[in-house]
Structure 1
Amino acid sequence: MELRFSMDAADLQQLTEDIIASRLARHEHSFERLAHWQARLLAPLTLSLIVLLLALLPLLVQGRYDVPSAIATLLVIGLLVLLWRRVAEPWLQRAVQAGQPRNARIRQRSAARLERSLRRQLSRSLTRLRGLHVWTLDEQGVLLSTPDGQQQRIAWRQLECVAESDHFYRLASRAQQRLGLAYTLSKHSCEMDAATYRAGLAQVLARCRNASRRP
Structure 2
Amino acid sequence: MELRFSMDAAELHQLTEDIIACRLASHEQTFERLAHWQARLLAPLTLGLIVLLLALLPLLVQGGYSAPSSIATLLVIGLVLLLWRRVAAPWLQRAVQAGQPRSARIRQHSAARLERSLRQQLSKSLPRLRGLHVWTLEEQGVLVSTPDGQQQRIAWGQLECVAESAHFYRLASRAQQRLGLAYTISKHSCEMDAATYRAGLAQLLAHCHSATRQP
Alignment root-mean-square deviation, CA = 0.6
Letter in 2 for 1:76: V
2:158 is aligned with 1:158: yes
- Give the distance between the partners of 1:77 and 1:13, measured in 2 at CA: 61
- Give the distance between the partners of 2:209 and 2:126, measured in 1 at CA: 25
Contact 2:161 2:213 in 1 (8 A): no
- Give the distance between the partners of 1:124 and 1:207, measured in 2 at CA: 31
- Give the distance between the partners of 2:115 and 2:175, measured in 1 at CA: 25
Letter in 2 for 1:212: T
With the length of structure 1 as denominator, give the TM-score of the two structures: 0.99
Partner secondary structure for residue 206 of structure 2:
helix
1:3 corresponds in structure 2 to 3
Letter in 1 for 2:72: A
Displacement of 1:40 in angstroms is 0.4
1:111 corresponds in structure 2 to 111
1:14 corresponds in structure 2 to 14
Displacement of 1:165 in angstroms is 0.4
Superposed, which structure 2 residues align to 1:42-53 within 5 Å?
Answer: 42-53=42-53
- Give the distance between the partners of 2:126 and 2:78, measured in 1 at CA: 62
1:31 corresponds in structure 2 to 31
2:168 corresponds in structure 1 to 168
Per-residue CA deviations over 1:95-144 (Å, capped at 9, x if unaligned) read 00000000000000000000000000000000100000000111100000
Partner secondary structure for residue 209 of structure 1:
coil
Per-residue CA deviations over 1:77-103 (Å, capped at 9, x if unaligned) read 001001000000000000000000000
- Give the distance between the partners of 1:205 and 1:84, measured in 2 at CA: 55
Letter in 1 for 2:153: R
- Give the distance between the partners of 2:192 and 2:18, measured in 1 at CA: 24
- Give the distance between the partners of 2:206 and 2:64, measured in 1 at CA: 70
Letter in 1 for 2:6: S
Per-residue CA deviations over 1:172-192 (Å, capped at 9, x if unaligned) read 000000000000010000000
Displacement of 1:170 in angstroms is 0.2
Sequence identity percentage: 86
Partner secondary structure for residue 6 of structure 1:
strand
Partner secondary structure for residue 181 of structure 1:
coil
2:141 corresponds in structure 1 to 141
1:60 corresponds in structure 2 to 60
- Give the distance between the partners of 1:211 and 1:30, measured in 2 at CA: 20
- Give the distance between the partners of 2:180 and 2:93, measured in 1 at CA: 37
2:190 is aligned with 1:190: yes
Displacement of 1:211 in angstroms is 2.5
Displacement of 1:21 in angstroms is 0.3
Displacement of 1:212 in angstroms is 3.3
- Give the distance between the partners of 1:212 and 1:58, measured in 2 at CA: 54
Displacement of 1:214 in angstroms is 1.4
Letter in 1 for 2:162: V
5+ long unaligned stretches in structure 2: none
